[in-house]
Amino acid sequence: MRKSRRSVRFSASGMLFDAFLAGTVRTQALLRAQSAPALEAIRDAVGRVAGEYENHGTVEIPMPAVLAAALKP
């Protein structure tokens, strides 16, 4: 087992919401089912939180992972 430090980078905090909106079918459906005011509130909240990870004009959000491999006996 090995820990892997990864991150996703965006040039603007609003791009994280766009990635969610263009992401998996389930996430797209969940977001598109929201009313216009709710969707705008979600967009604002995601942008605000993503902005906390902005550094020198780049948003870099940590996405750690654990890699594991095994052999079947």
Residue 73 lies in a domain: no
Residue 24 belongs to domain spanning = 2-67
Count of domains for the chain: 1
Alpha-carbon span 24 to 73, nearest angstrom: 35
Residue 72 lies in a domain: no
Residue 61 lies in a domain: yes
Q: How are beta strands 2-4 and 65-67 bridged, if at all?
A: antiparallel
How confident is the model over 41-71, as pLDDT tens digits? 999 999 999 999 999 989 999 999 999 999 9
Residue 23: pLDDT band (50, 70, 90) is confident
At 1 the pLDDT is: 87
What's the burial of 32, exposed, middle or buried (CB within 10 Å: 0-12/13-18/19+)? Answer: exposed
